Amino acid sequence: MNLRIISALVMRYLFLYSRTPMRLVELIKFGEFILFFLGAMILWDILFRAQQGVAISFLEDVWTRNLLNVFVAPVRTAEYLGATFVVGFLRILVTCCVMSLISYIGYSFNIFQLQWWLIPFFLNLMVFGWALGMISTALILRWGQAAESLAWAVPFFIQPVVCVFYPVENMPAWAQPIAWLFPATPIFEGMRSVMKTGVLNWDHLWLAAGLNLIYLTLAGWLFVWVLNLTRKRGLLTKFATQ
């Protein structure tokens, strides 16, 4: 994996924001600031922006008719994904800094009250977001531009299940086992535990990390498989020129 190629792709995506300032609006969303004051929403946005970094970076190449240029260039799949991961990380930094600052000024809510637990929370949600981003992109590749809405919709399909705003125990009994199948659930449970008692059950972190490993592996396999399939069938050319 060549870091120079990854950095070049990252610069290319960042250049789009510098040339079109209106793209920055999606990173801030002033109308929703009141929701961002909650710690749960700030952590949720980490997952969402990581997913968007992968899926939207792919769609940026589609919209600018640059997709074929990327894949005919000597760019490995791992390098392409690595670049989208970096873009997702940068998107997270921008939105989290803005949200944390405004929540502190407006409501005296300090996200750093989570102390060092914020680091594993951040990393686990970001990795899960990357996995969702690869799944979103794979589905768009498979079903074409008619499925572009999945770039935004996929995270919200699982939001009611991963207990962002309420504990697992408040869910119906039949839904609770399903909630624990997602790595975001133990993270949000852990966040509530730390904010209430200052103590975190380590089992939550281990569960999140283990599930993330599974999700990231399966999502990576799915993305590579769908990408190779579209190449073999000539669908990538058709998709990129629509």
129-157 confidence digits (pLDDT tens): 999 999 998 888 888 776 778 878 888 88
The answer on pLDDT for 30 being more than 50 is: no
pLDDT bucket at 219, cuts 50 / 70 / 90: very high
Q: What is the mean pLDDT of residues 174-196?
A: 89
The answer on pLDDT for 192 being more than 90 is: no
Mind listing the pLDDT tens digit for each residue in 88-129?
888 888 877 877 787 777 666 667 767 777 788 889 999 999
CA torsion 7→11→14→16, rounded to 10°? Answer: -140
Residue 173 phi, psi (nearest 5): -55, -40
pLDDT bucket at 199, cuts 50 / 70 / 90: confident
Asked whether the beta carbons of 88 and 133 are under 8 A apart, the reply is yes
pLDDT top residue among 190 and 21? 190
Asked whether the beta carbons of 50 and 125 are under 8 A apart, the reply is yes
Q: What is the pLDDT of residue 88?
A: 82
Pick the range with the lowest mean pLDDT from 11-15, 40-44, 69-73, 206-210.
11-15
Is the Cα torsion angle 217, 224, 139, 134 positive or negative in sign? positive
Rounded Cα distance between 87 and 164, Å, is 24
The answer on pLDDT for 34 being more than 50 is: no
pLDDT top residue among 42 and 208? 208
pLDDT bucket at 215, cuts 50 / 70 / 90: very high
pLDDT top residue among 233 and 120? 120
pLDDT bucket at 167, cuts 50 / 70 / 90: confident
| Residues whose CB falls within 8 Å of the CB of residue 219, separated by 6 or more in sequence, listed in order | 130, 131, 132, 134, 135, 138
Q: What is the mean pLDDT of residues 204-231?
A: 91
Question: What number of other Cβ atoms are within 10 A of residue 206's Cβ?
Answer: 11
Please give the model's pTM, rounded to 2 decimal places: 0.77
Q: What is the mean pLDDT of residues 3-12?
A: 73
Q: What is the pLDDT of residue 135?
A: 92
**Taking all residues of the chain, what is their mean pLDDT, rounded to a whole number?**
79
Q: What is the mean pLDDT of residues 3-29?
A: 62
